[in-house]
């Protein structure tokens, strides 16, 4: 992977502080975007777009943008059809919408299964729905930073209505075996809802191989604009009672897309997928995406190995997460004798940008006994020099 060529496509990476390039290590909270995404968004606005359904070119352009983005995201998720792709303001809004629809038939005595490893956007919507309908919530804990598929089995029963799980933790970086969890869930009649927000920048998503009912991510985590993208199995998208205005379609994914969509942002989604595909080779876009993610994974694994090796020498820094095992290059740490906001500020003064807090991973922090941590995250546009730079900065805090 040619990191110099990749970085040259991201204008924001040219930012300097005190005469030195900054290091964006806040990717888990949102990545920077390549020029192609910026161009796609600005071009849509510059040429002129109009709302759907009118017999003139700007309206037809919006229709084309929407269709193209559904096709691109179907390739990224490996959905069976572009009609299984829904756009929304963000992952959280989409999850609240689906939770409202799926819970119409829930009754007291029904059960749902949530995990302690998930982002709160895949927890709070279901907790709220469960409280409203008198549904029992059962929890799967993680152990040694791992979420074991077999731990779901004793919690599944004839009245389990939903299992919500993350594909990767945005706090501790653990990648979960969604396909294995799905096989356990399929022993019940529960709907499987997957939060892939943190996984999508780092792992190739495959909703068919994983056998999930719903999966949702946000494009600003994979080099696109701020917009959420939901995959829903066709039968569920068609049968669930979408909450919509009366003139909205009765069939298709747009019955879930309340109000006017951000067509310019949706154009940016297609550009983000195309950018990712440009990093790989193959005859189809899906094949190019698969090759790209292999290259991304290899590069990020090397960064992770370098970071973990250096971190082992910093005895005043504590890592919360796997040292070995399947993980993303996302690391939560604490520094002896320093509050997390002090650590983040000290690194920012050195031009190293990281995030701190709970990152909305409320249950993760509760399980770890922490009020918050410092999160350092690498993506495919980060370099070995940036790994060394954050390690040197952390060393200076000792």
**What length does the chain have?**
398
Residues 330-348, buried b or exposed e (16+ Cβ, 10 A)?
A: bbbbbbeebebeebbebbe
102: confidence class by pLDDT, cuts 50, 70, 90: very high
Cα–Cα distance between 263 and 276 in angstroms, integer? 20
pLDDT tens digits along 153-191? 999 999 999 999 999 999 999 999 999 999 999 999 999
pLDDT tens digits along 304-323? 999 999 999 999 999 999 99
In this predicted structure, what is the pLDDT of residue 209? 98
Alpha-carbon dihedral 250, 80, 291, 221, rounded to 10 degrees = 30
pLDDT tens digits along 281-309? 999 999 999 999 999 999 999 999 999 99
Residue 336 has pLDDT above 90, yes or no: yes
In this predicted structure, what is the pLDDT of residue 111? 98
- Write out the DSSP string of 200-223: TTTS---HHHHT-SEEEEEGGGTT
In this predicted structure, what is the pLDDT of residue 185? 98
Residues 6 or more apart whose Cβ sits within 8 Å of residue 237: 83, 84, 86, 253, 255, 256
By DSSP bridging, strand 85-88 and strand 111-115 are unpaired
In this predicted structure, what is the pLDDT of residue 364? 98
In this predicted structure, what is the pLDDT of residue 398? 87
Supply angle C-alpha 340, 118, 373, rounded to 5.
5
Average pLDDT over residues 365-387: 98
Cα–Cα distance between 128 and 277 in angstroms, integer? 38
Which of these, 24, 40, 77, lies nearest to 268 by C-alpha position? 40
In this predicted structure, what is the pLDDT of residue 142? 97
Residues 6 or more apart whose Cβ sits within 8 Å of residue 118: 164, 165, 166, 169, 195, 361, 363, 364
- Write out the DSSP string of 112-142: EEEETTS-GGGTHHHHHHHHHHTPEEEEE--
Cα–Cα distance between 79 and 234 in angstroms, integer? 10
pLDDT tens digits along 271-288? 999 999 999 999 999 999
In this predicted structure, what is the pLDDT of residue 1? 85
In this predicted structure, what is the pLDDT of residue 266? 98
Residues 6 or more apart whose Cβ sits within 8 Å of residue 148: none
pLDDT over 90 for what percent of the chain?
97
Cα–Cα distance between 331 and 374 in angstroms, integer? 8
Residue scoring higher pLDDT (251 or 374): 374
CA distances from 299 to 1, 251, 277, 306 (A): 7, 42, 16, 11
56: confidence class by pLDDT, cuts 50, 70, 90: very high
Count CA atoms within 13 Å of residue 195 on its CB side. 29
In this predicted structure, what is the pLDDT of residue 302? 98
pLDDT over 70 for what percent of the chain?
100
In this predicted structure, what is the pLDDT of residue 31? 98
Q: Contact, 363 vs 118, CB < 8 A?
A: yes
Alpha-carbon dihedral 286, 147, 175, 386, rounded to 10 degrees = 170
Average pLDDT over residues 28-48: 97
Average pLDDT over residues 199-209: 98
Crossing angle between the packed helical segments 35-47 and 57-77, to the nearest 10 degrees: 150
Ordered structural domains, the chain, with CATH: 3-33+285-396 (3.90.1150.10), 39-277 (3.40.640.10)
Q: Contact, 192 vs 212, CB < 8 A?
A: yes
Query: Can you read off the two tokens belonging to residue 159?
Result: 């009245």
């Amino acid at each position: 992977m040619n990191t110099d060529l990749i970085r040259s496509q991201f204008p924001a990476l040219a930012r300097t502080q005190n005469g030195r390039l900054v290091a964006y290590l806040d990717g888990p909270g949102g990545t920077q975007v390549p020029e192609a995404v910026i161009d796609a968004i600005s071009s849509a606005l510059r040429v002129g777009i109009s709302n759907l359904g009118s017999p003139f070119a700007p309206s037809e352009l919006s229709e084309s943008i929407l269709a193209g983005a559904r096709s691109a995201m179907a390739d990224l998720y490996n959905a069976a059809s572009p009609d299984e792709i829904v756009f929304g303001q963000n992952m959280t809004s989409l999850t609240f919408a689906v939770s409202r629809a799926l819970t119409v038939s829930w009754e007291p005595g029904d059960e749902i299964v949530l995990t302690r490893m998930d982002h709160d956007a895949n927890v709070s919507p279901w907790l709220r729905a469960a409280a409203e309908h008198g549904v029992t919530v059962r929890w799967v804990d993680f152990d040694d930073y791992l979420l074991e598929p077999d731990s779901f089995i004793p919690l599944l029963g004839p009245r389990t209505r939903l299992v919500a799980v993350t594909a990767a933790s945005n706090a501790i970086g653990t990648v979960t075996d969604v396909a294995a969890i799905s096989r356990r869930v399929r022993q019940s009649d529960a709907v499987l809802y997957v939060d892939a927000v943190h996984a999508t920048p780092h792992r190739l998503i495959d909703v068919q191989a994983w056998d999930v009912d719903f999966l949702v991510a946000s494009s600003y985590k994979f080099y696109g604009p701020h917009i959420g993208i939901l995959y829903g199995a066709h039968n569920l998208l068609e049968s669930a009672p979408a909450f919509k205005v009366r003139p909205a379609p009765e069939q298709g994914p747009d019955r879930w897309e309340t109000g006017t969509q951000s067509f310019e942002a949706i154009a940016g989604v297609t550009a983000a997928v195309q950018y990712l595909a440009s990093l790989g080779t193959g005859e189809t876009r899906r094949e190019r995406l698969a090759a790209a993610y292999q290259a991304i994974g290899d590069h990020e694994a090397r960064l992770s190995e370098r970071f973990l090796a250096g971190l082992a020498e910093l005895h005043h820094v504590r890592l919360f997460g796997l040292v070995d095992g399947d993980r993303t290059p996302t690391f939560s740490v604490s520094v002896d004798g320093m509050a997390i906001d002090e650590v983040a500020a000290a690194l920012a003064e050195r031009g190293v940008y990281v995030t701190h807090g709970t990152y909305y991973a409320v249950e993760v922090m509760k399980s770890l006994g922490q009020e918050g941590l410092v999160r350092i995250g690498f993506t495919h546009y980060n370099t070995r020099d940036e790994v060394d730079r954050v390690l040197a900065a952390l060393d200076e805090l000792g």
